[in-house]
Structure 1
Amino acid sequence: MVASGAFEGRGYEWADTTRPGLILRVGRQGGAWHLKTEARTVRLGDMSMSVTAAREAAKRAKADLKAGKNPSRDDLRVWEDATKSGVPVRTARAVAFPKTLHEPTQDERRRDGPWEWHDLVDVYLAKKLPTLKERWATQYERHLRRAVDDYLRRKLVKDVTQEDLLKLRARILNERSASAAADTVEAIKAAMDWAKAQEPILSGLDSAAYPWWREGVQVEYQSGTRDHTPTLDELARTIVVAEHYRALGGTAKETDDATLAALWAIVLTAQRLSALVGTRRTTTRDWDERPGWKVWTWTAVEMKGPGGAGKKKAKPKPHGLPIPPAALAALARFGVDRSSTYLFPGRDPRRAVTASAMTGLFDRLKGKAKGARKGGLTVRPEGDLMERYGIRHWTPHDVRRTLSSLLDMERLGGSGSAILAHSKARANGDQDAERELPASITLKHYIHSQRIELKALGMQVWTEAVLATYAREKAAFDARMPAAPVLPEPRAPRARARSRGRSADTNPLPPR
């Protein structure tokens, strides 16, 4: 009919009774197979394609539409050409319509397994981080996420080998430091131990006969014991310098009052930084037996240290510390938000000054540059102020050794140990030796159970020493600073004498 041009009208359509929606549409110029649905019509191929081949093409196209995909024109063209060339149907089907495996979503993979390496890191951190204090949680996450590189990210956990982790260790050693590599390796071991014990099927580690990663990956690194003890002069001078240089690096931001107050509190109390900066107003109370004194308290949870893999620490206990009036007066000089829940509120009064903010203050005083937005760098043109003013670099934890050393010389070593919340020791001697012990007698109520009286002895001596040293360092610092130029006082103009021998203040003769 096509060849003879015997068509009348626009043409004809034949519907297949076996495959609903499959039609053969023939017009004056030729014909083609189509799949017709309620939503759209898809061309499957030329009418020279066999009925069997057209039905297969319609089946594939309909499945794609049902799945929300557009049928591939390339696949249909390959199918048409292959079937017309005499290629076996099975071969043509494999070439034109290759089977594709379902790619599980992230949620499906983490629910059903097997986990990829980044799945293990994400799932483990979700379990681990809530058990850590905020400051340590941030560091721990950074240590473990170093392990998610381009090579390991999509690798199945069960396929990770000793060679993979050794290459990762070598990369970190090359780019960072031995301590960074050690931290990352320890975090990896903890994550794999957890997966092996808690989720062996999902992680695929059920097939691991033994935890090879424990002994198979090591870092030759051992952190040294820090024994730096800053002098009292250095501590006080640091406060003086921080108060004077509040804006550093050419930025508009200045060290706020709450951060400076926290620096004072670090020196005045020698308490652990994370617990100290988070002190709440509701956990401080007046000491009725000593007017003007306060007692700051912390719960066992607040006293909990950062911990870490392989580290055993004593069980944390509640801690109380008496604060003398002179120390409270020194802190009261700063204009912090008194409506905040915290003694040292951050820029957002709903939050406390963070330990990282204090670390940032020390970095600024040391002249360390800081990364800025869009790859920029905030430099410190003032340089290392601590070195300039003869201060050896120190950390908040170092203050504890300074306090302990001073109180030891004052025969108040036991008071110092109590202030620092060290574990108790047993008394072997007379009652006069009790002040030298980390713990003395435990009585029934809170004041005595926390050895507040014992701590007060040391806090009084320590506070007086800090304030006296600060006054001396402040006076010396101010004396070194260039004084502002003194402008001469303006002089009143003098009238000119109108005749020789007469002074300027003598009335002149009247004009002639």
Structure 2
Amino acid sequence: MATAPNTWSRTRARLTATHVKAAQKLLAGGRIEGRGHEWADELERGLVLRVGKTGGAWYLKTEQRTVRLGDMDLPVAAAREAAQRSRVDLRDGRVPSRANLRVWQEAHRRGMSPADALDAAFPETVSEQSQEERRRDGPWEWADLVDLYLAKVLPGFVPRWATQFEKHLRRAVTDDLARKLAADVDQADLLRVRDAVAADRTPSAAADTMEAVRAALDWAKRDQPILSGLARIPYPWWRDGLHVDWSSTPREHTPTVSELVRTLIIAERHRSLGGTAKETSDGMLAALWAVVFTGQRAGALTGTKKATVRSWPERPGWQIWTWTAAEMKGPKSAKSKKAARPHAVPIPPQALAVLARFKTDPESPYLFPSRVAGKAVYPTGLTQLFGRLQGDPKGGRSGKMTERPGADLFAAHDIRPWTPHDVRRTLPTFLDLEKLAGAGSAILAHKAAARTGADAERELAASITLKHYIHSQRLDLKAEGMSLWVAAVLEAYEAERARLGS
């Protein structure tokens, strides 16, 4: 019966030179049916002579992968030897060297003795692989695994988290581990990394590094077990073998409105601190005001583009600041599969008037430009500003530190330490007391809180009458909350300025 056009026919036998000659005759006579024929060797498991319409070759077929051993003119005994050596490589987590197999084939074509062919193709001492060859053929060294994993995952992270994640993982590429085979890196090696990071930095930094290490090893074991060499490791010991005795403590601090505005006042009055002529830029001060006005995450807010700011014709003088789903992603959403959503916040004229006081670069594409042309201020800049105001010493060259002459201005003005993220508790707490919890949730891009009674009816009616984008973003509801909040901030600001003296 003829072989189907798209299938391989197959014969099992203890292969000899006779089978090879038969295959060569079929090929020369153009008598190959279907896709071709395979002769499977009964003596060497997985060894196959495959002949198609255009040629033939020896292959080793295993559960892990299929390896091309050489053309069909390779003698049967030599094909078995190549199969055995390739199987050892696969078992040890290495990809069989294509260069070695080519030399093996050529040595037999030239009639070299078996011993000379072995010395030529599979020498006991071989030249060191180049980085390109090692990463292509394996086995990987620890630095290879880290580099290749970062190249795989970093494009999917938002830039600020990508930078942090890379820093966490590269702490594990120490001088003594970088050139060690990835499969030989063991628990003791990585626990030494853990302890060193905890001692040099903090336990939380050690936890971040171990989390990144586990993710890299999981990827290599799952996606590239042969190249990484992790195929020979039966159990992923790193999943429960790299514990760090540390857990984050959720912050519960909610600064008062008075603390927020006193911070604004001292930031404006003390723009130069620590014996340096470098002042806090107008862009940074405007960003600090915007954080207090909106409660938005500093990462998305500081990168707000002027091109995404819209006027609101139905409310003259108002602006709508918008962010795409990608811009709204934070570190957690970058690592998770939960999709971020586009977001918009309406900004009342009173807030815009305050921001207009700061003379920023009119040519910048960003609302809050930095001193570097074409760049926005960074969230870390706000953190550093708070550090200066709290008297943190300024690092200098050669390990020298510059003390802040103003000491701790937060403590001097009765301000408990807070971070930009803490405004996300103050703003909704204030609006909840004003019976506008739904507005607070909407402004912060949270799911709307469940409401009952008259409040629920009013919020529901507002959402029903909105259209399209305005409807989906609940802008009227947000505007009601923003009006109350901005007015409260400005009232407290003027009161504190008068109390502290202009």
- Common topology (TM > 0.5): yes
| Per-residue deviation, 1:204 | 1.0
Deviations 1:169-217 (A, max 9, x none): 2222333322111111100001111111222222111212121111122
List alignment gaps of at least 5 residues for structure 2.
1-122
2:244 corresponds to which of 207, 219, 242: 219
Match of residue 419, structure 1, among 439, 443, 446: 443
Match of 1:159 in 2: 184
CA gap of 1:442–1:316, structure 2 versus 1, over 3 A, is farther
Distance 2:481 2:238 in 1: 49
Provide, for residues 92-148 of structure 1, a one-character-per-residue CA deviation record: whole Å limited to 9, x for no partner. xxxxxx996412232332222222112222222222222222222222122111111
Give the conservation status (yes or no) of the 8 Å contact 2:143–2:178.
yes
CA distance in 1, matches of 2:279, 2:455: 50
Counterpart in the other structure of 1:41: none
**Equivalent-residue separation in structure 2 for 1:384 and 1:313 (angstroms):** 42
- Please name the residue that 1:81 is paired with: none
Task: Determine which of 447, 463, 472 is the counterpart of 2:486.
Answer: 463
Question: What is the CA distance between 1:445 and its match in structure 2?
Answer: 1.0
Contact 1:346 1:353 survives alignment (8 Å): yes
TM-score (norm 1): 0.70
CA drift of 1:321 comes to 0.6
Secondary structure at the residue paired with 1:346?
A: coil
Counterpart amino acid of 1:473? E
The whole-number CA distance in structure 2 between the counterparts of 1:332 and 1:448 is 29
1:115 aligns with 140
Instruction: Tell me the residue number matched to 2:384.
Output: 360
Equivalent residue letter for 1:329: A
Write the letter of the residue equivalent to 1:367. G
- Alpha-carbon shift at residue 440 of structure 1 (Å): 4.7
Counterparts in 2 of 1:291 and 1:143: CA distance versus 1, 3 Å:
same
Q: 1:474 to 1:436 in 2, by over 3 A?
A: same
* CA gap 1:392/1:355 in 2 versus in 1, 3 angstroms: same
1:296 counterpart SS class:
strand
Q: CA deviation at 1:331?
A: 0.2
Aligned-residue offset at 1:442: 8.0
Q: 1:260 to 1:326 in 2, by over 3 A?
A: same
C-alpha distance in 2 between matches for 1:112 and 1:410: 65
Q: Residue 318 of structure 1 corresponds to which residue in structure 2?
A: 342
- The correspondence of residues 34-183 of structure 1 with structure 2, limited to 5 A, is 101-183=126-208
Distance, in Å, in 1 between the alignment partners of 2:190 and 2:369 is 43
What code does the residue aligned with 2:479 have?
A
SS of the counterpart of 1:307?
helix
- Secondary structure at 1:321's aligned position in 2? strand
Equivalent pairs, count: 379
TM-score by length of 2: 0.71
- Shift of the 197–308 alpha-carbon distance from structure 1 to 2, 3 Å rule, reads farther
Distance 1:435-1:462 versus aligned 2 partners, 3 A rule: farther
Q: Given the superposition, is the C-alpha separation of residues 150 and 370 from structure 1 closer, same or farther in structure 2, using an over 3 Å criterion?
A: farther
CA distance in 1, matches of 2:387, 2:458: 38
Contact 1:412 1:435 in 2 (8 A): no
Checking the alignment, whether the CA contact within 8 Å between 2:333 and 2:339 is kept in structure 1 is no
Q: 2: CA distance between counterparts of 1:257 and 1:469?
A: 22
Equivalent position SS for 2:345: strand
Partners of 1:372 and 1:303 in 2: CA distance: 35
* Alpha-carbon distance in structure 1 between the residues aligned to 2:142 and 2:319: 52
Larger CA deviation: 312-321 vs 439-448? 439-448
Q: Which runs of 5+ in 1 are unaligned?
A: 1-97, 480-512
What is the alpha-carbon root mean square deviation over aligned residues?
2.2
Residue of structure 1 aligned with 2:372, choices 343, 348, 351: 348
- Check the 8 A contact 1:337/1:345 in 2, yes or no: yes
Matched, 1:301 2:326: yes
Cα distance in structure 2, aligned partners of 1:368 and 1:441? 51
Distance in 1, matches of 2:183 and 2:403, equals: 46
User: Aligned partners of 1:312 and 1:128: how far apart in 2?
Assistant: 12
Shift, 1:386, TM fit: 1.1
**Deviation at residue 443 of structure 1 after TM alignment:** 4.6
Q: Within 1, Cα distance between the matches of 2:336 and 2:248?
A: 15
Q: Deviations over 1:215-257 (max 9, x none)?
A: 1221122211111000101100001001111111111211010
Letter in 2 for 1:296: W
Alpha carbons of structure 1 residues 104 and 463: separation in structure 2 relative to 1, 3 Å: same
Match of 1:206 among 200, 213, 231: 231
Max radius of gyration: which structure? Answer: 1
Partner of 1:246: 271
Matched residues in 2 for 1:260 and 1:291: separation?
Answer: 26
Alignment match, 1:229 = 254
CA distance in structure 2 between the partners assigned to 1:323 and 1:372 by the alignment: 40
Identical pairs, percent: 60
Task: Name the residue aligned to 1:491.
Answer: none
Distance 1:425 1:233 in 2: 26
Q: Which residue of 2 aligns with 1:445?
A: 468
Shift of 1:154: 1.6
Aligned to 2:6: none
Secondary structure, counterpart of 1:473 in structure 2: helix
- 2:438 touches 2:448 (CA, 8 Å); kept in 1? no
CA contact under 8 A between 1:435 and 1:454: conserved in structure 2? no
Q: Name 2:422's counterpart in structure 1.
A: 398
Structure 2 Cα separation of the partners of residues 99 and 250 of structure 1: 65
Distance in 2 (alpha carbons) for counterparts of 1:106 and 1:370: 41
Secondary structure of the residue aligned to 2:391 is coil
**Which residue does the alignment assign to 1:82?**
none
Note the C-alpha offset of 1:430.
Answer: 5.5
